[in-house]
Structure 1
Amino acid sequence: MALKRHLFLHCGYPRTGTTSFQSILDLNRKGLADNGYCVPPTIELRHRHLQAGVQLSLAANVQNLIQLPEGCAPETHLDNWLDSVVSDAPGFTRFIMSEETLAKGDLGKIERFEAQLRKHFQDITVLICFRPHGSFLRSDYSNLVLRVGHISNPFKSYVAGQGAQPFMRYSNVLSGYRSKQRRPAVRSDSRRPRSA
């Protein structure tokens, strides 16, 4: 009788303590194995091969990291990798994997990705983490904005003041800031114009 395998999949979001969680998995791989949980080998603490399941085209650096063979479709690569994970751990029924970018995948891709996973795992438990709004927003700002060079003190002040607002997408934060910048400034000059 075939083993019924259960996958515990941690899928993000980025900037929610994912690296700490992945470090804990890595440091405790043997202890988890002793208790019946397999944590497959990682690349930079993450199961980056899983990215092939939700991206139609992979960034060049990810292709290099996962050693995607030239001409190999990402979906085929993922199936091959999952086959090797299962065959390398024949006595295990519980697996833990972590890749934070999965949470941002397109819904259609995620459905196909789930179908791929179910070829190898009969039960799938998806774990996702959210941060409280204020710190998530500031993290998102530092991750997405500072890297593209949009560094200005007015923008930093604007973002810091958004913590009490309902959860906002980064694009809404940026458009709100741009809208504020377009408003005419109020003059504080109290001098009266000279009469002719």
Structure 2
Amino acid sequence: MGEAPLDPEHALPCGRTIGELLDHLAGEAPEDFGAHVRTCPHCRAALAELAPTGWEPVRRAAELAVEPPEGLVSRALLTVRGARAAAGGEPAEVAQEFGTLRISAQATLVLARRLSAELLADVPEARLLSCTGDVREVRVDVVIGYGVPAPALTARLQDDLGRALREHLGAAAPSVWVRVADVAPPQGS
């Protein structure tokens, strides 16, 4: 029969589709379909190609508890908190000649992300992972290559980003914290 196509709409010579077979493998097909599969040579041949050892190993693997990677939960929560603060946080206010300029937390984060990406564009061994916070504080997480001097890079980025934010926002510029969130393995390993 050759390799079974994965197009769920592909019809077998018996009139059944690959999608119906996949539903059967997942345990979601009607009971009468199981009876058809047991007697139909076309469905049995397609099933043998779709799941040569059956789906039992996949089902067992799906039942295993998996711990999230180190730091994933905290990074996700920081992002959610940052989005929530950006959506409803108090704006920063800057007095100007003709009134007060209000700068939202969302605008502050967008600017901080753009500036961080621009500053890191000159550093090929580092990349921006996340930028969260509000109008008072911006937290930047970076991924650096193995062997890069992390303290020097984070200090430089923190200083440069703080300076750039002060140039754009003046007294409303937030404080900046830069953290190495991950280290990438050396190229070729």
TM-score higher than 0.5: no
Higher relative CO (Cα under 8 Å, sequence separation at least 6) belongs to 1
Q: TM-score, normalised by structure 1?
A: 0.29
**Which structure carries more strand by proportion?**
2
Q: TM-score, normalised by structure 2?
A: 0.30
